[in-house]
Structure 1
Amino acid sequence: MSIDERSFRKALGCFPSGVAVVTTTDAAGRPVGVTVSSFTSLSLHPPLVLFCLDRNTRNIDAFRDGGFSVNVLREDQREVSIRFASRRDDKFEGLAVTPGTTGAPVLPDSLAVLDCVVESVAEGGDHLIFIGKVERVDYQAGGQPLVYFRGAYATVDS
Structure 2
Amino acid sequence: MIENASALFNRITHGVYVIAVANGSEQNAFTAAWVMQVSFAPPMIAFSINHGHYSYKLLQASGACTVNVLGQDHLAIAVHFGRSGVKKKMSTYRWQAGKTVAPVLSDSLAYFDCKLSHTTDAGDHKIAVCEVIDAAELNTGWPLLYSQTDNMDGSSNLYKS
1:10–1:150: 8 Å Cα contact kept in structure 2? no
One-letter code aligned to 1:108? S
1:9-51 superposed Cα distances (whole Å, 9 cap, x missing partner): 332112232100000113x522110000000000011101000
* Distance in 2 of aligned mates of 1:151 and 1:134: 27
Residue 17 (structure 2) pairs with residue 20 (structure 1) = yes
Residue 30 (structure 2) pairs with residue 34 (structure 1) = yes
Residues 1-158 of structure 1 mapped to structure 2, 5 A cutoff: 3-4=1-2, 7-26=4-23, 28-64=24-60, 65-87=62-84, 88-140=86-138, 142-149=140-147, 152=150
SS in 1 for 2:79: helix
TM-score for both structures, normalised by structure 1:
0.85
Shift of 1:141: 7.2
Taking structure 1 as reference, are residues 80 and 118 closer, same or farther at Cα in structure 2, changes over 3 Å only?
same
Gaps of 5+ in 1: 154-158
* Distance in 1 of aligned mates of 2:33 and 2:108: 15
* Distance in 1 of aligned mates of 2:147 and 2:6: 11
Percent identity of equivalent pairs: 25
Moved over 2 A (4+): 6-10, 54-59
SS in 2 for 1:46: coil
Moved more, 92-101 or 118-127: 92-101
1:14–1:150: 8 Å Cα contact kept in structure 2? no
How many equivalent pairs are there? 149
SS in 2 for 1:52: strand
Greater percentage in strand:
1
* Distance in 1 of aligned mates of 2:148 and 2:107: 26
RMSD of Structure 2 on Structure 1 (CA): 1.9
Greater percentage in helix:
2
